[in-house]
Amino acid sequence: MSDPLIEVDGVGRDYGTGDRTVHAVREVSFEAARGELVAVRGRSGAGKTTLLNMIGGLDRPTRGVVRVAGVDVTSANEAQLLDLRRSTIGFVFQSFGLIPILSAAENVSVPLRLNRRPAAEREERVQLLLELVGLGGQAAQRPGELSGGQQQRVAVARALANDPPLLIADEPTGQLDSETGRSIMDLLRALVDARGMTALVATHDPSLIDRADRVLTLRDGRLA
Ligand SMILES: Nc1ncnc2c1ncn2[C@@H]1O[C@H](COP(=O)(O)OP(=O)(O)OP(=O)(O)O)[C@@H](O)[C@H]1O
């Protein structure tokens, strides 16, 4: 595989010390290519969130190296990590993480503001992104006025705002009913196919696994 987008090499993460040490992730190595949809499955506590957070630069491994788009996330300083999270990685969480007092459009606009994009460009891009996720008509509505599935679509649009090569989604369908969950996974699949981005998606849900190009299974912190 040439030029992988994600390189994970011998990564481990411990919490606590001594007898109480929890080995949340142990000796995990894998690569993901550009344009690949990779599912990470495993039971509750298997280490999915810990692994995703280390790849996304939200947490640092105890051992090993993570590279994303050639950048060593493990040794990056805070400013470099901030830059990586703004330009290279979009995040989607189980709990959506939208700002309640902002409209759908304003939520999607937040990463563009952080990247200091001009107002006219922001407006155009936000509308395009909302249409992309099927919410062109809901731009002015606040999260509380949207269904769970619609809120997650807004979160996906926000994650795509700066056109990152990597989307990390941690149980994005965990709070949705199974049919709504499937529509979110269909959306992620379509986005990966249309944009050539890489997506890393943690999920418990066996019915969502078949949309992935590849499935990584974590058991007690190890890749099975
Ligand atoms: N901050 C922390 N301090 C101590 N232990 C932690 C911490 N975060 C996670 N752990 C432990 O690390 C292990 C892996 O947790 P993690 O959240 O990565 O699993 P998961 O597969 O994402 O689970 P879930 O599906 O329930 O979200 C668990 O045993 C958990 O209790």
Please provide residue 201's backbone torsions phi and psi, each rounded to the nearest 5 degrees.
-125, 115
Burial label for 174, CB within 10 Å (0-12, 13-18, 19+), is middle
Residue 121 domain flag: no
Sheet holding 6-15, edge to edge: 22-32, 6-15, 63-68, 71-72
pLDDT computed for residue 3 by the predictor: 82
| 198 belongs to a structural domain | yes
Cα 125 to its chain centre, rounded Å, is 20
Q: Does 132 fall in a domain?
A: no
Give pLDDT tens digits for 190-212.
999 998 999 999 998 776 788 99
Going by pLDDT thresholds of 50, 70 and 90, the confidence category of residue 2 is low
Q: Which residues line ligand 1 (CB under 6 A)?
A: 15-16, 22, 24, 42, 44-50, 204
Atom 11 (ligand 1): residue with closest C-alpha? 24
Number of domains into which the chain is organized: 1
Nearest CA to ligand 1 atom 13: 24
Q: Domain for residue 109, yes or no? A: no
SS3 for the chain, per residue? CCCCCEEEEEEEEEECCHHHCEEEEEEEEEEECCCCEEEEECCCCCCHHHHHHHHCCCCCCCEEEEEECCEECCCCCHHHHHHHHHHCEEEEECCCCCCCCCCHHHHHHHHHHHCCCCHHHHHHHHHHHHHHCCCHHHCCCCHHHCCHHHHHHHHHHHHCCCCCCEEEEECCCCCCCHHHHHHHHHHHHHHHHHHCCEEEEEECCHHHHCCCCEEEEEECCEEC
- Do the domain assignments include residue 16? yes
What ipTM did this prediction achieve? Answer: 0.95
* Tens-place pLDDT, residues 104-162: 999 999 999 988 899 999 999 999 999 999 999 999 999 999 999 999 999 999 999 99
What separation in Å is there between the alpha carbon of 24 and the centre of ligand 1? 6
Q: In what order do the strands lie in the sheet with 37-41?
A: 89-93, 166-170, 198-203, 37-41, 214-219, 222-223
User: Alpha carbon 91 to chain centroid distance?
Assistant: 4
How far does the centroid of ligand 1 lie from the alpha carbon of residue 218, in Å?
A: 12
Cα gap 92→107, rounded to integer Å: 13
Expressed as residue numbers, the domain containing 214 is 4-97+163-223
Q: How far is the CA of 93 from the centre of ligand 1 (A)?
A: 15
In CATH, what number is assigned to the domain containing residue 217?
3.40.50.300
- In a domain, residue 139? The reply is no
Q: What is the pTM of this model?
A: 0.93
Which amino acid would we find at residue 28?
A: V
